[in-house]
Amino acid sequence: MRVHSSPVGVSPRRRPTGVTPAQVVALGFLAAIAVCTLLLALPISHSGEVEVSMLTAAFTAVSAVCVTGHIVVDTATAWSPFGQAVIVAFIQIGGLGIMLVASLIGLVLARKLSLRGRMFASTENRAITTGDAGRLARGIVLTTVIIEAAVALSLTLWFWLHYGVHPVEALGRGVFLAISSFNNAGFAPFSDNMIGFATDPAVLLPMCLATILGGLGFPVLLQLRRELRRPLHWTMNTNLVLTMTVLLLVIGTAVIAVFEWSNAATMGSMNPAEKLLVAFFHSVQSRTAGFNSVDIGQMTSESWLVIDVLMFIGGGPAGTAGGIKVTTFAVLLFIIITELRGEGAVNIFGKRLSRAVHREAITITLLSLAAVMSSTIALMVITHLDLDVLLFEAVSAFGTVGLSTGITSSLPPAGQLILMVLMFLGRLGPLTLGTALVLRQRRVLYELPKERPVIG
């Protein structure tokens, strides 16, 4: 047994006290959800066409703050302009992160952040550094504003000039869709989501661009902004995110196109170019955004399973995407390749992967699988619906995607509460939430002897 000596004057049993960064993040999200729920419960938020209960307001609030897009009432008809403004505002807050907003307020008031504050901000955003949090925050906000403004302008002009929508209404639609797209939220100001624009690339492609950029993650966006023409300087994280994003987009587009090509209920009647547009759109949106341009409930079971996988993987870390993240999936993939080759260290893009990352990737994946599987089983018990639709619903909620086969609004209150918990878990991440629940952490000052069980 190996014993680690403790620093002089420090008791080995001393434990850190106070609130952990993960707890602050969790409490921040809960506070935002509570405020959003209260605002959506106000009569001014309702259109009057649909009855809105407190559970409906809470479900929509969780979906907005966790940038999911799951709905139990039609966004276009159930909520008034004020209610829709509340939804899009909290989508923006959830996308940027509660702790980022708190950091910006702290910068305005104190013009500086303590080390602990920087740790809080880095925990929420999965940042790779705890350097100048103020400069990081300003970079994130500036990047967000530029992308959302460009997409909003493009969509506004198209709605106005091509569809003849009143300029004010066109602006509202453009801003709503731009914010929802970049934050990977999936909320749309239309009753049929984006089905009415299924064959219009001028609407769908800008949304896809915003979704992809938001899903890359802020560390990747900021590095690309600084070193776009110097790929040799890119970090392992940037290389992994870009490589896996392109790979999953291509595979997703190809597979969805194959399975839906002749499906008369989705894209069967479209021409080849339109079919490819629909397949690409859903490949993009399945990785945590949640918009749909065809009826998801009419897709084949094979497409559902492919989308399940895409939703579970998600996008890049430190961004607006959910899922276990493409970096986690890539790490597991490289671990498998290394093990099959019989090599000792996992090498990625000319660099050796830390063994601590191995454990983190495995832990995140297994906890995520446990959350999805246990929730699916619970939904099966209380609803008696088929496995494929319930699994789709659970993965969509955990991946903060929001796609649905059409059963969300028909679920009993207990089922909707399960989805709310999944959305919260999926936004914060199993490890972050788990750390928030642990009030004290104990440092182990010894190691036990090694022994290897039989595997396989």
Q: Rg of the chain's alpha carbons, rounded to an integer?
A: 22
Contacts of 73 (CB under 8 A, 6+ apart): 50, 52, 56, 60, 79, 409
- pLDDT for 55 equals 95
DSSP-derived 3-state class of residue 339: helix
Q: Mean pLDDT throughout 24-31?
A: 84
- pLDDT for 127 equals 40
DSSP-derived 3-state class of residue 405: coil
> How wide is the angle at C-alpha 319 spanned by C-alphas 398 and 86, nearest 5°?
75
- pLDDT for 343 equals 84
- pLDDT for 230 equals 87
Handedness of CA 293, 297, 298, 303 (dihedral sign): positive
Is the pLDDT higher at 1 or at 25?
25
Contacts of 162 (CB under 8 A, 6+ apart): 202
User: What mean pLDDT, rounded, does the chain reach?
Assistant: 85
Residue with structure tokens 């969790």? 26
- Residue 14 in tokens: 């001393």
Rounded to two decimals, the pTM is 0.87
- pLDDT for 10 equals 44
Among 73-77, 96-100, 346-350, the least confident range: 96-100
Q: Mean pLDDT throughout 1-13?
A: 46
- pLDDT tens digits for range 94-109: 888 755 654 444 444 4
Which amino acid, residue 140? I
Q: Mean pLDDT throughout 266-283?
A: 96
- pLDDT for 442 equals 60
Q: Mean pLDDT throughout 147-164?
A: 96
Is the pLDDT higher at 374 or at 353?
374
Report the run of H or E that residue 447 belongs to, with start and end. strand 446-447
Contacts of 209 (CB under 8 A, 6+ apart): 151
- pLDDT tens digits for range 367-398: 999 999 999 999 999 998 999 999 999 999 99
What is each CA distance from 5 to 13, 35, 417, 443, 450, in whole angstroms?
12, 48, 48, 12, 20
What's the rounded Cα separation, in Å, for the pair 118 and 332?
A: 29
* 224, pLDDT greater than 60: yes
> How wide is the angle at C-alpha 110 spanned by C-alphas 105 and 114, nearest 5°?
90
- pLDDT for 277 equals 97
